[in-house]
Structure 1
């Protein structure tokens, strides 16, 4: 018999690439992961791993079994969903959200969930969208709230589905009272943006380039509350989504951009996630966003 928990370790290794990464993600020691995979290799009766310098890589048999492991994990998830349909709240829904959703939507959504589905238990972690979506595929989370910027489509991995939560307007932000009319007027100013490699950074940089200049990014900071403080102090200018809430936002002037751009805020789940509790969390997030924009 091939044990599902050992198959999961092989699946994780196919995604993460190293035994140390698998151990860290699943809170095991590297030696435990190595021992369990060695036992899986014995059970399978074929070589699954081969040394590659200081690392290991999957053999052809290992890659084949990892693909079967992914399907076995999907089936296990579907079975658990069917069982939960008879009694909700049997296990916490593991959720990852980006910072702006944690600030603006999390409490209202959980309040709605408590009122309508009190048996549903939710555990929440704040993560950048890129990391959260990877961990969703790796089954660390059941639902991830992420973003997509105009003209910057994210990859659509097999087995992952998206549900739009809402559209979040993005505006130019400067210190209150500053006479900024458009991006071009700020070409010589210091900018604050999120770190390189994030969707928001790529989009913001492209907006500046479309306006005819390369932004002078003095501050690379993931925390949007710091963006707000720097802009309010007149130390930088930036582009902020409406969901970004922080002390000092009232000290900003927000300027509409041409075309009224908005990022899509969406909930991503695995297609094999059939648990009613996950659907309830997704509905609560969407309702919280709708209620917020209606105010």
Structure 2
């Protein structure tokens, strides 16, 4: 019995040290394998995720705006509109119920580096970028690409002009002109020394590796054409240089222009009232002679 016990104990001790030695001998390989597996899983995650959300006009009404509609207003609808005393929120509430769309006046702080002193119109959106990857990556450039551009189609334009200077923030892309005209930007709109300068000449975006999400207010500016477009974001990581499309896949961003000669044009003249041009009654239009020629 004693001999058997000694033999069993010796076997257990031998097995323990044998497993210990094997564990020590293979620990480096296993650690390397685990690390490679973690890297592989990490690379399977998207480089970064982009989320585009329109400006919330219910909570954040721009001071100056256009509202576009794809049909003329009826006489009854015109009477309702011209009874509103130029309050942007009330105008939007009425026009939204008819299927209207807001277009903002682009910031009048012209980017210094594109030479365009005549700003057009914009439809602002928020762009959020984030990455769950452990490895960091650096976005060092974004390029706007026009997919298609066409003449604006709205038949009715309602304009509320600015009453003062609206605060500016975010980035502006100059998409003025048709598809053959090269986009420029993005330019910095925020107050400060960088205002009007190309954002990526002085900045990069760091994502992943615990970095905070990045959020931007984007103001894409158009003039004579409504354009569908996307962003190509270039970034680098430990595996090299890459490009990712925003929105992903074949998605596009639409920025609508204001037609120069709509069927109906309603412009509010501060302290005077509405001016009306086009196919409509002049009833309720007390300031038509004060409108700039279109």
TM-score (norm 1): 0.21
Bigger strand fraction: 2
Instruction: Write 1 or 2 for the structure with the bigger share of helix.
Output: 1
Tell me the TM-score normalized by structure 2: 0.21
